[in-house]
Amino acid sequence: MRHKLTTYVVIAAVTAATLAILVFGLVRSL
């Protein structure tokens, strides 16, 4: 249970961080 949740948290963190990086790139290049 806890281990499965961890993988979901990792996926969520990776997705959030990737989005943040792309948004940063977009905002700074406008």
Partner 1 sequence: MIGSSSLAASAGSDGARLSVSTTQTSSPLRHRHRLTGTLWTLLYLGLAVAPLVVALVPPAPPGRDFWTEVAVAAGFVGLSTMCLQFAVSARFRHVAAPFGIDVVLQFHRQIAIFAAVLVIAHPLILIADEPSRLGLLDPFSAPWRARAGLIGLLAVLILTLLAHLRRRVRLRYEPWRVSHGLLAVAAVAGALIHIELVGHYLDQPWKRALWAAYTAGVVGLLVQVRIVRPLLQRRRPFRVEEVRPERGRAWTLTLRPQKHAGVSFQPGQFAWLTLGRSPFAIEQHPFSFSSSAREPDRPSLTIKELGDFTGRIGEIEPGTTAFLEGPHGAFSIDRYEGPGYVFVAGGIGITPIMSMLRTLADRRDPRHHELIYAAATLDDLTFREEIDELAGVLDLDIVYVPSRPPADWQGESGRITPELLRRHVVDEWPGHEYFVCGPRAMMDAIERDLVAHGVPLDQIHTERFAFA
Question: Rule CB under 8 A: which residues touch partner 1?
Answer: 1-7, 9-10, 13-14, 16-17, 20-22, 24-30
DSSP result, 1-30? -HHHHHHHHHHHHHHHHHHHHHHHHHHHH-
Q: How far is the CB of 11 from partner 1 (least distance, A)?
A: 9
Q: How far is the CB of 19 from partner 1 (least distance, A)?
A: 9
Q: How far is the CB of 21 from partner 1 (least distance, A)?
A: 4
Measured between alpha carbons, how far is 22 from 6 in angstroms, rounded to an integer? 24
